Amino acid sequence: MNLRCTREPLLAALQTAAVVVPSRSTRPILTNVKLDVDGSTAVLSATDLEIGIRTEIEGVETTAAGSVLLPSVRLMAIVRESPPGTTFEIETDGNATVVKAARSQFRLPAEDPVEFPSVATFPTDACFELSTPLVRELVRRTVFATDNESSRYALGGVLLELTDATVVAVGTDGRRLAKMEGPSSIQGGELPATQPIVPARAMQLIERSLGDAEAPVKLAVQGSDVLIHTGYTTISARLVEGRFPRWRDVFPERPDAVSVKVVAGPLLSAVRQAAIVTSEQSKGVDFGFE
């Protein structure tokens, strides 16, 4: 295997993939990232067995295909400490991997890439499609209400109710509930409506992977996994098991209900002022509408 690329795209791909690399694991092989080179493309992948990431490295030159495992922490340090614009050459002979730069050379131990757990690729058939700004807001407005510590596992994820026209995202910890909805579409065929519960951590990683790109976000459910593709990155995560609370009971259809529109800034300021005189024993704030 042989690969040439510059520092910036390699570092960006490493930073994306490394977020799921465990610092410690009973399976040391998981502390590596896998580099797959095929034709003119190079893909970095990493997994902690719950969440997997595949991200393509931009602007590479290859002369030989192959796969190699690289220690994530060391490779990250090598690339990060190199000057901007540095060109790297990565090659392996099966016994070791050599990382070369203009004024440095590193020889890293080589592990068998066949032993590395596979990271799912995004399917080529039908999928749901959402806009990037919408996904960003869905994450920010629902994840904060989830509860990863609860014995009710479903509360540690965000419920996504997906149809061919809308998406509804709901997060709750049993005491508070956050909901947001927006438009969605189906590309590449037909799909039935689905309601996966996506781990809160995976939702946060999705937001991080969006970057500044405005390309559509694609989402697919395969068995017990959800896959999200955006730009050069695919994230796969195991769905949260369990029954999500009947959140629609919190918003019953009441013909006599009164809707009140308020400006967020002044309302937040008023709540903060009222909260000054609350205590541990009495945290409530009364609202009155006239």
Looking at residue 272, its pLDDT comes to 94
C-alpha torsion sign, points 16, 127, 240, 49: negative
Q: Where are the beta strands (DSSP E) in 79-232?
A: 87-92, 96-100, 105-109, 127-130, 157-162, 166-172, 177-183, 185-187, 197-199, 217-222, 225-230
What are the domain boundaries of the chain?
Answer: 2-115, 127-238
Is it true that 2-115 and 127-238 share their CATH fold?
Answer: yes
**Range among 117-126, 144-153, 194-203 with highest mean pLDDT value:** 194-203
Q: Is the pLDDT at 211 greater than 80, yes or no?
A: no
Amino acid at 230: T
Distance of alpha carbon 111 from alpha carbon 138, whole angstroms: 40
> Is residue 94 within 8 Å of 110, Cβ to Cβ?
yes
Q: Is the pLDDT at 95 greater than 90, yes or no?
A: no
Q: Which CATH architecture has domain 2-115?
A: Roll (3.10)
Q: What integer is the mean pLDDT of 172-189?
A: 93
Q: Render the burial of 61-79: b for 16+ CB within 10 Å, e for the rest.
A: ebeeebbbbbbbeebbebb
Tens digit of pLDDT for each residue in 42-73? 999 999 999 999 999 988 888 888 899 999 99
Tens digit of pLDDT for each residue in 223-240? 899 999 988 899 999 999
> According to CATH, what is the number of the domain 127-238?
3.10.150.10
Q: Is the pLDDT at 268 greater than 90, yes or no?
A: yes
| Tokens describing residue 158 | 């965000």
pLDDT band at residue 25 under the 50/70/90 scheme: confident
Return the percentage of the chain with pLDDT > 90, whole number: 66
Q: Output the pTM of the full model.
A: 0.86
Looking at residue 134, its pLDDT comes to 94
What SS3 class is residue 10?
helix
pLDDT band at residue 210 under the 50/70/90 scheme: confident
Q: Is the pLDDT at 147 greater than 80, yes or no?
A: yes
Looking at residue 213, its pLDDT comes to 67
Q: 224: Cβ–Cβ under 8 A, 6 or more apart, which residues?
A: 238, 239, 241
Sheet hosting strand 177-183, strand order edge to edge: 177-183, 166-172, 157-162, 197-199
